[in-house]
Amino acid sequence: MMTKRTCLGCGVELTGEVITFEHALPQWLAKEIELPGVSLKHYLHDEGSEDKLLRSHGLNTFGAKSVCGSCNNGWMSRLEDAAKPHIVSLMHEKASILTVTDDARTILSRWAVKTAFIISVVQTLRFELPWEIFQNLRKHETGGPNGCFVLASQQRQLPKGYLSTFPSDELKGNLVQLRVGFSINHLHFVVVIPLVQGLRMVRVAAGVHVPFWPLDMNVLAAYKMAPTDIGTPNKFLDFLTNLVEAGIVTRKDAVREVEGENTAVA
């Protein structure tokens, strides 16, 4: 018996009348960053051998038939409209990521999480994502993406166009979270999507990423040397994404002594 497909945003059955194609990157953004003659390539990464090319296509066909028309043309469209001016300014470095307001951080965090979930679907990951987080973006359009961590940075070393990476983290052999790193020109996001619940301590490289969500996120600073040779753009994106660590801790370890003061960590 064939399993019924349902909208990832609201749960309605995806019949021929309601199903739509959701672009992982909105069409307005694809037009901004698509490079002539350059296609989007998806690789299967294997530490023991060369990466295997899975498929290649343009940004305008980068997406999936996974949401209904009401979601696609409703809350998702409104979110794109709200995020667009901020994304354009940051990706072209017309504005500094250090001056983003709390309202803009909330909008950009919602957009980054929505985008991270959709591009994860396109990657056909082998585990189930916590779709209730995604669905809460529809239910609470003025709220942030509670349950996820979002960090961002501006990196001139990143090339024009789009890149993404999907490292997952294990604890005692069990997957506990997915870190989605993606860049749009010089704007880079890292979204931590929890696969199991637990108090998390976030640690980032000092001076690289700016915490976006939660707005009151406390982070520990780590000091790591930047590579002298950044290598390929994909390797540099991996490096940036792996600078963000979000380890699960026990409650008794959630307060650490830092330079003589107790500092609560997210």
Task: Report, as an integer, the average pLDDT of 115-120.
Answer: 88
Across 7-11, 222-226, 252-256, least confident range:
252-256
Task: Report, as an integer, the average pLDDT of 150-162.
Answer: 89
The proportion of the chain whose per-residue pLDDT surpasses 90, expressed as a percent, equals: 40
According to the model, what pLDDT value does residue 44 have?
46
**DSSP 8-state secondary structure symbol assigned to residue 6:** B
Check whether 63 has a pLDDT greater than 60: no
What band does 5 get if pLDDT is binned at 50, 70 and 90? confident
Q: Count CB neighbours of 159 within 10 A.
A: 17
Length of the chain: 266
Q: Do residues 202 and 211 make contact, with C-beta atoms less than 8 angstroms apart?
A: yes
C-alpha distance from residue 40 to each of 37, 163, 166 (Å): 10, 9, 16
